[in-house]
Amino acid sequence: MSLTHLSDDEKLFRDTVRRFAAEEVAPHVRRMDEAAAMDKALIRRMFDLGLMGVEIPEVHGGPGGTFFDCVLAIEELSAVDPAVAVVADVQNTIVNNAIIRWGTDTQKSRYLPLLAVGTVGAYALSEAGSGSDAFALATMAVEDGDCYVLTGRKLWISNAAEAGVFVLFANSNPSAGYRGITAFLVERAFSGFSVGKKEDKVGLRASSTCELILDNCRVPKENVLGKAGQGYKIAIETLNEGRIGIGAQMVGLAKGALGHAVAYAKQRKQFGQTIGSFQGVQFDLARMATDVEAARLLVYNAARLRDACQPFVTEAAMAKYFSSEVAEKVASKAIEIHGGVGITKEYPVEKLWRDSKIGRIYEGTSNIQLMTIAKKLLA
């Protein structure tokens, strides 16, 4: 069976998301990009459609879907606006999954229903000194009675402006190095917690990216996710899944750029004929389409493996690495096919190109993915 084959239920779900993106997201894309702000009504609609809690079990208010369903949703949203897709991607692939896998029954009962119906989640690992070296954390967690007191700053946290719940990492035992890192479920209303500066980005502008400030933030011990010292393991496992989500985002972005390029090639005329009749443009489009399909197969393969509980770490790295390269290349070529108008904001391809750049950076740079792939080859 081809990896691109979808069941009837998967097709129905994909088509529902595709219609939502075309009818309800597309009209707001340019305005949100220029304002660098997400339309709150769109987030509300994503909750209504079940797109913010795809894998959350029905017992906790979710639709009980699959990880592959998440991938389909992220791809379709990204074809219209990758910034909107980020909100659902972060929520599903790393926040919800972390709680589903590592949360206690009490934590699941408290937080999953919120994340399913109306509360945005964020994942707070990165700091000024811990990017690719993800576990060089300076944020500290000190036991104090029935709480941990957290002090430090987090940077580049997606969804931070809207989020009410944060999966946040701090070191509770610095002498143990990375084995002292602990994951916490931090609520926005907790004393000592605040959201700081919002970054002014070149791409994904409607998606919020902010710093978090922890000034003696008190977190109840029952909000430790997993066990103290298991934070590094939780981070590694969730980010491996998150990379498949980023792969889906980049595939959707590239698909969107290709679609715009094809449509323009069919209607733009030069020398008395459409530019799509010229072999040079045809070959460009053919290469773009081939790259998009190859990236999609890598992403779908990794997602299917994850749902089948099979090893997928190398496949996730391949999917993330290749799809991010393809997205940037296809979006750039789409601008060239549009010619001069391609660099204007009147056409959507320049935004997709700006959005594509982060794909090779966040949730593991391309070099980190190559290291992961090479490590498996040389084992």
Active site positions, annotated: 363
Terminal CA-to-CA distance of the chain, rounded, Å? 30
| Two tokens, residue 59 | 């017992």
| Two tokens, residue 215 | 């000034």
- For residues 218 and 145, the answer to whether their CB atoms sit within 8 Å is no
Return all residues near 121 (Cβ < 8 A) that are at least 6 apart.
Answer: 90, 91, 95, 96, 115, 159, 163, 164, 165, 166, 167
**Amino acid type, 263:** A
Classify 309 as helix, strand or coil: coil
Cα–Cα distance, 343 to 96 (Å, whole number): 38
**Phi, psi values for residue 170, rounded to 5°:** -145, 160
Paired sense of beta strands 193-198 and 181-187, if any:
unpaired
Classify 374 as helix, strand or coil: helix
> What totals of helices (H) and strands (E) does the chain contain, helices first?
12, 10
- For residues 246 and 299, the answer to whether their CB atoms sit within 8 Å is no
Cα–Cα distance, 280 to 58 (Å, whole number): 52
Half-sphere exposure for 229 (CA within 13 Å, toward CB) = 7
Beta strand segments in the chain, E = 121-124, 140-144, 147-158, 165-171, 181-187, 193-198, 209-220, 224-225, 269-270, 273-274
| CA angle in degrees (0–180, nearest 5) for 244-250-253 | 145
- For residues 247 and 299, the answer to whether their CB atoms sit within 8 Å is yes
